[in-house]
């Protein structure tokens, strides 16, 4: 019976992650599949690029909520199954479900397994695991975005902020959380390879939060 509950929760985490927010929102309100435009990704960044700030913000918050919800699913189970909320076993189970949700976002069953890069969903997972470190990531992301206007660069730097803040600021001693934080950096670098290439070539598109780019 316990295994059935666990399998059900794992499937639920994947289904949460698989909700193709950008695709469904774009099709429902704009008649546009964002994967056919811009970078071709079904994520918040490409939604900002293709559909604008309002749509991008909505998609971003829903994608964050997906990761946060999936990571908090263990609270629905009895402590005899997942352990006490303060125990390493509980945290490990949270991490596992969060990763599964991110995989769902990357390879969504509801959208032909063509998803986004998972940054917003990863952030939702970080919020659920370590709120203070998540706020550090937000600060770095916002500052970088305001200065450079590159969402991709801001995401990469925010990803690296997570393990650095855990190790140097919050002195985290839970090995699984540190391993997860390092894995986040690797995943972000892997999923942003094309962005990194465009950044190095000076061809990465910019997003202006408070004003539009002035025409030349």
Mean pLDDT, the chain cut into blocks of 10 residues (216 residues total):
81 96 96 92 89 93 96 86 82 92 95 90 92 94 93 92 93 87 88 90 84 50
Half-sphere exposure of 194 toward its Cβ, with a 13 Å CA cutoff? Answer: 7
What pLDDT digit, counting tens, does each position of 136-188 carry? 999 999 999 999 999 889 999 999 999 999 999 999 878 888 998 998 888 88
Does the residue 215 lie in any domain? no
Return d(Cα 197, Cα 43) in angstroms, integer: 19
What residue numbers bound the domain in which 194 lies? 2-201
Q: Is residue 81 part of a domain?
A: yes
Please tell me the predicted confidence (pLDDT) of residue 211.
63
In a domain, 206, yes or no: no
Q: For residue 206, what pLDDT is reported?
A: 86
Question: Does the residue 216 lie in any domain?
Answer: no
Residue 208, domain member (yes or no)? no
Whether residue 47 contacts residue 22, with contact meaning beta carbons closer than 8 Å, is answered with: yes
Greatest CA separation for the chain: 66
Based on the structure, what is the number of domains in the chain?
1
Residue 31, domain member (yes or no): yes
Identify whether 99 is part of a domain. yes
Give the per-residue pLDDT at 216: 43
Distance of alpha carbon 211 from the chain centroid: 25
Is 185 inside a domain boundary? Answer: yes
């Amino acid at each position: 019976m316990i295994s059935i509950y666990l399998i059900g929760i794992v499937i639920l985490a994947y289904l949460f992650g698989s909700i193709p927010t950008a695709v469904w929102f774009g099709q429902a309100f704009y008649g546009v599949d964002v994967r056919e435009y811009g970078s071709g990704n079904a994520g918040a960044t490409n939604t900002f690029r293709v559909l604008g700030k309002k749509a991008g913000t909505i998609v971003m918050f829903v994608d964050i909520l997906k990761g946060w919800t999936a990571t908090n699913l263990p609270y629905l189970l009895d402590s005899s199954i997942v352990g006490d909320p303060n125990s390493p076993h509980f945290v490990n189970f949270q991490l596992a479900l969060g990763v599964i949700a991110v995989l769902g976002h990357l390879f969504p069953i509801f959208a032909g397994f063509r998803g986004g890069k998972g940054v917003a969903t990863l952030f939702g997972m970080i919020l659920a695991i370590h709120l203070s470190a998540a706020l550090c990531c937000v600060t770095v992301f916002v500052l970088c975005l305001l200065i450079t206007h590159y969402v991709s660069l801001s995401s990469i730097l925010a990803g690296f902020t997570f393990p650095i803040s855990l190790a140097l600021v919050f002195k985290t001693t839970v090995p699984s959380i540190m391993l997860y934080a390092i894995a986040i950096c690797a995943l972000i670098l892997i999923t942003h390879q094309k962005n990194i290439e465009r950044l190095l070539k000076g061809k990465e598109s910019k997003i202006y939060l408070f004003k539009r780019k002035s025409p030349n």
